[in-house]
Amino acid sequence: MTRSSFCSRTAAFLVLATCSPSLLAADVIEADVCIYGGTSGGVAAAVQAARMGKRVVIAEPGRHLGGMTSGGLSAVDIGDPRSVGGISREYFTKLAATVGTVLAWDKPFVAKGGGPATGGAYAIEPHKAEEVYAKMAREAGVQVHFGARLARVLKEGASITEFVTEDGTIFRAKMYVDTTYEGDLMAKAGVSYTLLREGNAKYGETYNGIYYDEKYVPRTGHLQPGTTGRVKGGQGVWDRDFPLDPFVVKGDPKSGLLPLIQEGDPGRPGEPAPGVQAYCFRLCLSVDPANSTPIAPPRGYDPKRYEIVARFIEACLANGDDMDLRWFSKHDALPNQKWDFNTATFGGNLPGASHEWPEASYARRQEIAKEHENYHRGLLHFLATDPRVPAKVRKDMARFGLPKDEFTDNGGWPHQIYVREARRMISDLVLTEHHTFGREIAPKPVSLGSYGTDTHEIRRIVKDGIVIREGKTAGGRGGFGPYQIGYDCIVPKPSECENLFVTFALSCSHTAFSSLRMEPVFMVTSQSAATAAVIAIEDGVSVQKVDYEKLRTRLEKDGQVLTCKFKDSGGH
């Protein structure tokens, strides 16, 4: 270490120690590769780097490994299973084996009941998912530190030297991988990012910025569904939009907006706008009386908060709908009488409440998560008890409770909120819908994306006097198959940081992120980043100067799928 480097580190430590006396006795954790975020991709990255012979540590701000895949997202969507390889494929194979299921990785999914052929084949109980993650990390010799809430990052030039957590622990490494949903390490390291829906003009896109999808424009005359809950064409009853009156007194704007409706100008389609996709909790609920507890309403529950839901029910009944619980949540069966609850037009999503999350403090994020939980608990209580809810729905809802053997340290409620979108890095390569639709091909692939263009609503607002969901999309990508996610999407600009990879909050537009935001993709991309990190260490180069051909050779050796070679994919 040079004298200037030593003085810089010493001065930085003395400043920290002065601010907090407890740091004088702070733990210092040293590793070759530090993974910030114990998400699905965090574990994949850590296991990969450890298998390549490096000292690896995961610093996780929470108390669990796996992120959403152990936090309630049990029926995992993926797109085309043939596009997933490496540790991601290994993990899901092991997970499925816990219930005796063998997954067919060499075949595309087959559409059922008119819905998209996107997955859900990996529907396993959350606690088993976490067990598999923990075992893989343990067997690879990965250190895991929970409660590692990031406080500050120290840099020398364009390199991170260490970061400090709120409890004073110091993490030092040669290479860092940010695998948080929010991109927290990236942000504190001074790397450029955005929270803006860029607008179509920015990159010449179609689905960016303020957006109103024709499929979700409120209307009457919805078709009746088949046994799968989908109508002809594939749209589910959980995605029905009626022209609902948004005012406390119907027809009177002066009476004010109902709860759950946001204020805001509808704006002009295609214009840039703030706001991230709606968040929710993906609940795991049980119908086994011996293994469940009732879902208690939140303190201060008020059925008036759900007046707009009652008006939705009125519209459904006027439409001739024979309503059941699917109108409020698509739910998929799991083993042992459990179900994975998704969201709906009026389901677990709470549009607007997520917008503050990416930049919020940890304490504020806890409050925001509680807001989502209280809303969701109240909705489920409303559906189970309110006389305005059809008896069939109330009876259906009453069957479900929180499982006693899931999320045992949180009363059966998931420990991870579904962060569908947060910060997105801005690097030298920004993946856009031109890439996801196949009009451009990203160079130096490190993973493949294969899901459709799926954006949950950004806002629930008033437009032309009725309630509308702004920002929602749910479509394909023009028939194009799996697309390449390029190496330059996961490394910052050289001037900003030379020893950091960003694999969840990677460099892409809002609409591109709507396609690639799937957990298996994050896992594959993170494994590739960890491989590159090891090569960078061994070759003594920055992340931007890693020899791609060397990286590609190692990735393919480890079973990664980097290019689309499927004859029936519609791709390149």
Pairing state of beta strands 193-194 and 56-60? unpaired
Is the CB of residue 106 less than 8 Å from the CB of residue 144? no
Token pair for residue 443? 């160079």
Question: 16 is written with which tokens?
Answer: 């920290």
The mean predicted confidence, pLDDT, of the chain is: 92
Q: State which H helix or E strand residue 295 sits in.
A: none
What is the secondary structure of 28-96 as a DSSP string?
Answer: EEEEEEEEE--BHHHHHHHHHHHHTT--EEEEESSS-SBGGGGTT--S-B-S-GGG--HHHHHHHHHHH
Q: Alpha carbon of 393 to those of 328, 399, 536: distances in Å?
A: 9, 10, 57
Provide the 8-state DSSP code for 153: E
User: pLDDT at residue 173 above 80?
Assistant: yes
Question: Does 117 score more than 70 pLDDT?
Answer: no
Residue 464, classified by CB atoms within 10 Å of its CB into exposed (0-12), middle (13-18) or buried (19+), is: exposed
pLDDT given for residue 71 in this prediction: 96
Q: At what angle do helices 40-51 and 126-140 cross, to 10 degrees?
A: 20
Q: 484 CB contacts (<8 Å, ≥6 apart)?
A: 435, 441, 442, 443, 445, 447, 448, 562, 563, 564
d(CA 241, CA 220): 8
pTM of the model: 0.93
Query: Any idea which fold 3-196+430-456+476-557 has?
Result: FAD/NAD(P)-binding domain (3.50.50)
Section 540-567 average pLDDT: 94
Could you tell me the CA-to-CA distances from 479 to 112, 252, 391, 439, 569 in Å, in that order? 18, 45, 42, 11, 8
**Which of 175, 95, 77, 75 lies closest to 136 in space, CA to CA?**
95
Can you count the helices (H) and strands (E) in the chain? 13, 22
Q: What is the DSSP string of 407-447?
A: SGGGTTS-SS-B-----EE--SS-B-HHHHTTSS--SSEEE
2 or 346: which carries more pLDDT confidence?
346
Contact between 171 and 162 under an 8 Å Cβ cutoff? The reply is: yes
CA distance 341 to 210: 28
- Confidence class of residue 99 from pLDDT cuts 50, 70 and 90? confident
Q: What is the predicted pLDDT for the residue at 111? A: 62
Tell me which of 382 and 96 has the higher pLDDT.
382
Q: What is the pLDDT of residues 473-531, one digit of tens each?
A: 989 999 999 999 999 999 999 999 999 999 999 999 999 999 999 999 999 999 999 99
Q: Is the pLDDT of residue 17 over 70?
A: no
Least confident range from 8-17, 221-230, 289-298, 309-318: namely 8-17
- Cross-strand bridge partners of residue 501: 177
DSSP 335-347: TTTEEEE---TTS
> For residue 340, what are its two tokens?
């994975």
In angstroms, the Cα distances linking 391 to 323, 339, 387, 388 are 9, 21, 8, 9
Alpha carbon separation from 428 to 99, 433, 442, 448 (Å, rounded): 44, 16, 12, 19
CA atoms of 441 and 434, how far apart (whole Å) = 8
Structural contact between residues 469 and 422, judged by C-beta atoms closer than 8 angstroms: no
Radius of gyration of the chain (CA): 24
Task: Please report the pLDDT score of residue 76 as a whole number.
Answer: 81
Question: For 115-131, what is the mean pLDDT?
Answer: 76
Reported as type and span, the H/E element at residue 287 is none
Tokens 């160079």 belong to residue: 443
Are 89 and 448 within 8 A, CB to CB? no
Q: How far apart are CA 339 and CA 133, in angstroms?
A: 21
**CA torsion 133→139→140→142, rounded to 10°?**
70
Where do the structural domains in the chain lie, given as residue ranges? 3-196+430-456+476-557, 207-410
Contact 33, 54 (CB under 8 A): yes
Helix (H, G, I), strand (E, B) or coil at 247: strand
